Structure 1
Amino acid sequence: MKDLQEQDKQELVQQERGIFNSPLQRRSFLQFAGASAAGIALIAAGCKKDHGTDMPVISGGVTLDFKDDFGVLNYAYALEQLEAAFYIQVASNPPSGFSTIERAYFQDIQFHEIAHREFFKNALSTAAVGSLAVDFSSINFSDRLSVLNAAKAFEDLGVAAYNGAGVRIKSDTYLGLAGKIVSVEARHAAYIRDLITPGSFAASDVIDANGLDQALTPDKVIAAAQKFVKTKINIINL
């Protein structure tokens, strides 16, 4: 496994652009989240047929319209953009305090998040919201603990977001795919939590007395995520 610290950032950008032609053939969404080709085709066909370019627009940002399943898919796409951007930055220049195995695992997580992001982007096609401009100024990327705490925040938020969005998904196909993605995100969260505090992978701040993971509504998730996003994210029909 190559050490991304030795790679030029431009090379990483080029790698990202060709994500389904080279690196993610080995680390594809199909491999890690288990979605079937038929399921992906269903989403892609549905989005293109029913929505096209009619996504409502509010001046000054992107709009998530929760009137149907496609709004939920765009919601997931926005969150995956944020996570992918974070892990790309970490993997391209990991903190000096990272061990060799931590660098390797964060590189793998990076590929997972890019795969998730590209999956939604391609499935939504012209119905997809635009690219988000991120703001990671509050994160010290040279400090191991700062990076781990940020990763924990993103992963916990992502899991809670998928859990909270499930009740809004009408299609069984979409719900099944979301369940496969959130299981991957939960694996990330458990790993990162244990790096910070061993044994905290299922701590009481995320798992309740009934053994259930936390779930957050989209408005709460977006409010928390907006700190790391320059682009204004608008929500309608929630």
Structure 2
Amino acid sequence: MNIVNILEEIEKVDGEIYERLNPRRAAMKDFFNMGKKITLAAMPLALGSVFQKAYGQSTPTAVNDVLNFALALEYLEYHFYNHALVAAPTLTIPAGAATAAITLIRDHESAHVNLLKGALGASARAEITYAMTDFTAGGTFGDVYSNYGTFLAVAQGFEDTGVRAYKGQAGVLAGNAVLTTALQIHSVEARHASHIRQMRTALSGGTTVYKPWVSLGASGQANDSGVPQVDAVYAGEDATVQAGVTITGINGNANITKAVAVECFDEPLDKASVVNIANLFLKTGFKL
């Protein structure tokens, strides 16, 4: 989750968001510079203040909907990792670097939850608790909390979904003081996905190599996870045309194959598709 994507989603329902923020560019610059000096615990209050100033006394319902959608996804990610660390006695995460990595990712997700709750204030959606989740996806991943390999495979699906769902479009922020910080936050999310992939490679002893980025799977489709049940996460990632330009064989270069072209670009995932994926991990009665 990152501020670039939050603002991008808000722009879809409020085309004037940047105009609202632009007159306060100096204040925005101070805020994001301040973010380097204050703790994560203080950031939600600061971000909430920015939105209040941009919109006056209240935030439009449509904007709150975007932020609450983001909050729901962050709750899911937090509970997925937190349960693995504190309440899954049959799951053995290797001590040392592996446990440290999962703990750090969990803490990042917790910080994102607190950030969004602070921005939404009283408009924040009801908390999604662990009891509302089903990380087996209805039994599809029945051993997710007893098999470390399955746990990492599902983690990869979550992280790759997050990168696609909240992919930043830095171009809309060109010239805005928020750009630098937003890109820094987005890069952390991408590193989660990359690191989980490298952890899967390490677990296999190197016999199966998961590249740090999305690439073509053995079937020639974009799902390189080796888990066909998560095909929806990678739908559309095998695109070879960007901005109307065919990337394969570009400029007569035969070395630019489909596999190379796919790895060069991330593809966005629309909200409806993300909701469908998220709902796989929520019990009936609690779906988004």
TM superposition score normalised by structure 2: 0.55
In the superposition, relative to structure 1, how do residues 223 and 153 fare at CA in structure 2: closer, same or farther (>3 Å)? same
Q: What is the CA–CA distance in structure 2 between the aligned matches of 1:143 and 1:107, rounded to whole Å?
A: 18
Note if contact 1:53-1:126 (Cα within 8 Å) is conserved in structure 2.
Answer: no
- 2:256 aligned with 1:201: no
Q: What is the CA–CA distance in structure 1 between the aligned matches of 2:171 and 2:69, rounded to whole Å?
A: 14
Q: Give the match for residue 216 of structure 1.
A: 269
**Residue correspondence of structure 1 range 30-179 to structure 2 within 5 A:** 35-36=35-36, 43-48=47-52, 50=55, 65=62, 68=63, 70-92=64-86, 93=88, 96-100=91-95, 101-132=97-128, 133-138=132-137, 139=141, 140-163=144-167, 178-179=182-183
In the superposition, relative to structure 1, how do residues 126 and 87 fare at CA in structure 2: closer, same or farther (>3 Å)? same
In the superposition, relative to structure 1, how do residues 166 and 153 fare at CA in structure 2: closer, same or farther (>3 Å)? farther
SS of the residue aligned with 2:267? coil
TM superposition score normalised by structure 1: 0.65
Note if contact 2:197-2:212 (Cα within 8 Å) is conserved in structure 1.
Answer: yes
In the superposition, relative to structure 1, how do residues 123 and 54 fare at CA in structure 2: closer, same or farther (>3 Å)? closer
Note if contact 2:51-2:59 (Cα within 8 Å) is conserved in structure 1.
Answer: no
| Deviation of the 1:75 alpha carbon | 2.4
Aligned residues: 189
In the superposition, relative to structure 1, how do residues 35 and 184 fare at CA in structure 2: closer, same or farther (>3 Å)? farther
SS of the residue aligned with 2:167? helix
In the superposition, relative to structure 1, how do residues 194 and 51 fare at CA in structure 2: closer, same or farther (>3 Å)? farther
Q: What is the CA–CA distance in structure 2 between the aligned matches of 1:173 and 1:128, rounded to whole Å?
A: 26
SS of the residue aligned with 1:185? helix
**Residue correspondence of structure 1 range 19-38 to structure 2 within 5 A:** 35-36=35-36
| Deviation of the 1:74 alpha carbon | 2.4
| Deviation of the 1:203 alpha carbon | 3.4
In the superposition, relative to structure 1, how do residues 175 and 127 fare at CA in structure 2: closer, same or farther (>3 Å)? farther
Structure 2 counterpart of 1:98, one-letter code? I
Percent identity reads: 32
Q: What is the CA–CA distance in structure 1 between the aligned matches of 2:211 and 2:112, rounded to whole Å?
A: 26
- Cα RMSD (Å): 3.5
Deviations along 1:163-198, one digit per CA (max 9) or x if unpaired, are: 1787999xx567765543332111110011122233
SS of the residue aligned with 2:280? helix
Q: What is the CA–CA distance in structure 1 between the aligned matches of 2:85 and 2:200, rounded to whole Å?
A: 18
SS of the residue aligned with 2:135? coil
| Deviation of the 1:232 alpha carbon | 2.8
In the superposition, relative to structure 1, how do residues 145 and 39 fare at CA in structure 2: closer, same or farther (>3 Å)? closer
Runs of 5+ consecutive residues of structure 1 not aligned to the other structure:
1-33, 57-64, 234-238
Q: Give the match for residue 229 of structure 1.
A: 282
Q: What is the CA–CA distance in structure 2 between the aligned matches of 1:90 and 1:81, rounded to whole Å?
A: 14
**Which moves more between the two structures, 193-202 or 104-113?**
193-202
In the superposition, relative to structure 1, how do residues 39 and 83 fare at CA in structure 2: closer, same or farther (>3 Å)? closer
Q: What is the CA–CA distance in structure 2 between the aligned matches of 1:94 and 1:188, rounded to whole Å?
A: 24
Aligned match for 1:187, one of 176, 191, 210: 191
| Deviation of the 1:218 alpha carbon | 1.0
| Deviation of the 1:95 alpha carbon | 5.6
Structure 2 counterpart of 1:200, one-letter code? K
Note if contact 1:77-1:121 (Cα within 8 Å) is conserved in structure 2.
Answer: yes
Q: What is the CA–CA distance in structure 2 between the aligned matches of 1:75 and 1:166, rounded to whole Å?
A: 21
Q: What is the CA–CA distance in structure 2 between the aligned matches of 1:109 and 1:41, rounded to whole Å?
A: 22
